[in-house]
Structure 1
Amino acid sequence: MPTPNPQALEFLQTRRSRPAKTLDAPVPDREALTELLRAAARTPDHGKLEPWRFIVVDRAAMAPLAELAQTRGEALELAPEQIAKGRAQFDQGHLAVVVVEVQKPSQKIPALEQTYSAGAVCLALLNAALAAGWGANWLSGWASHDRMFMEQGFALAPHERIAGIIHIGTEKSAPPERPRPDLEAITTWL
């Protein structure tokens, strides 16, 4: 018989992301954040390739990223509301971890599985932060998919891209529960 971990299961069944705009200081210090990164790095990585890495963005680094989002949004001729949304996560952010997908050559592990692993790291980091009592939110948005933003903002190489930006902080207000998927509608039993 397996040994259950009811606390872990309860956490997973009740976990709830916190909207990034509701996160404030204080944020985890370097030691606390290192523990969260260590937990996230335990994600299955398909052949021990470690097809991801972390970039920690503190409050001081947010303002230049907000300005870059503004500049890139204007260059892309995006609508003003899109530009505002693209820069808002940096204008409002106090601490974020950029999870960078790092595609590595492998005859054994397909590129798509490396992408899945990077996504799993995002969720693992999000859940680690929530389990540690912090508020956390996984964001992306147009800026995180813009090649020039990735290269200018984070010095990403051509074989790298942003898998997600995980904002971590102290929640100012608890979000309401939201509807969850209808398991009957999305589950097939064979």
Structure 2
Amino acid sequence: MSDIIDFLRTRRSVKPRDMSSPGPSPAEIETILTIGARVPDHGKVVPWRFIVFEGDGRVRAGDVIARVYARKNPSAPQDEIEMEKKQLMEAPLVIGVVSSIKQHPKAPSWEQVLSAGASAMSIVNAATALGYGANWLTGWFAYDRDILDGLGLKPDERFAGFIHIGTPTKPNKDRPRPALSDIVTRF
């Protein structure tokens, strides 16, 4: 069995709370993003882009999330608002994958959304192949228009997800996977 097949067969997501520094180096981040950009893209419309949250950028993004949360939940206790502020703080690196649909006669919007998802998964795989833990998450704030605006998304853009990347702090357990007999039919 090839190393790539073995890697794909055993890849697991790592919870951000189970990650710490160091995160990827600048050269590794460039590699991860380059791999994230090598996905199927019918029509070559590039229907995704990336936002890198690291260092103080994670803090500023957390401020946006907490501010919107507090405004929309006026009775929320301060400790709850502080928790929201830390949404992107557990892993040393978070890459936001932005789905950016382009009008194109041969590239339906659904295919473009799927391309953004393929990009997110490629980022997860690249980070994992480099020895880091990675996890593709969304959360309520990935769908809140005020947060999207606050993080610089255009009106027609959405987050496909946030890829949290860092050094695993403990061994990761696998989760149950579906039996192929439960999910495969033959036509």
Identity of aligned residues (%): 38
Match of 2:115, SS? helix
Distance 1:82 1:161, change over 3 A: farther
**Which segments of 5 or more consecutive residues in structure 1 lack a partner in the other structure?**
none
> Is the Cα contact below 8 Å between 1:57 and 1:96 reproduced in 2?
yes
1: CA distance between counterparts of 2:127 and 2:110?
Answer: 26
2: CA distance between counterparts of 1:86 and 1:14?
Answer: 32
Distance 1:106 1:64, change over 3 A: same
Q: Aligned pair 1:52/2:48, yes or no?
A: yes
Match of 1:170, SS? strand
2: CA distance between counterparts of 1:83 and 1:101?
Answer: 27
1: CA distance between counterparts of 2:176 and 2:95?
Answer: 27
What is the Cα deviation at residue 100 of structure 1? Answer: 0.7
What is the Cα deviation at residue 45 of structure 1? Answer: 1.1
Q: Aligned pair 1:19/2:10, yes or no?
A: no
2: CA distance between counterparts of 1:60 and 1:86?
Answer: 16
- The two structures have a TM-score, normalised by structure 1, of 0.90
Distance 1:139 1:87, change over 3 A: farther
1: CA distance between counterparts of 2:167 and 2:3?
Answer: 22
Which of these residues, 112, 115, 134, is aligned with residue 114 of structure 1?
Answer: 112
Match of 1:91, SS? coil
What is the Cα deviation at residue 74 of structure 1? Answer: 2.1
Q: Alpha-carbon deviations, 1:121-165, whole Å to 9, x = none? A: 000100111011111111110111111101112x11112111111
Distance 1:176 1:150, change over 3 A: same
Distance 1:98 1:33, change over 3 A: same
Match of 1:92, SS? coil
Instruction: Name the structure 1 match of 2:35.
Output: 39
Match of 2:86, SS? helix
2: CA distance between counterparts of 1:89 and 1:9?
Answer: 33
2: CA distance between counterparts of 1:93 and 1:36?
Answer: 16
> Is the Cα contact below 8 Å between 2:21 and 2:91 reproduced in 1?
no
2: CA distance between counterparts of 1:85 and 1:144?
Answer: 16
1: CA distance between counterparts of 2:145 and 2:81?
Answer: 16
Q: Aligned pair 1:159/2:156, yes or no?
A: yes
Q: Alpha-carbon deviations, 1:86-128, whole Å to 9, x = none? A: 4433232321111111110111111111111101100010011
Larger helix proportion of the pair: 1
Instruction: Name the structure 1 match of 2:65.
Output: 69
Runs of 4+ off more than 4 Å: 78-86
Amino acid at match of 1:102: S
- The two structures have a TM-score, normalised by structure 2, of 0.91
Q: Give the aligned CA root-mean-square deviation in angstroms.
A: 1.9
**Which segments of 5 or more consecutive residues in structure 2 lack a partner in the other structure?**
none
Instruction: Name the structure 2 match of 1:10.
Output: 6
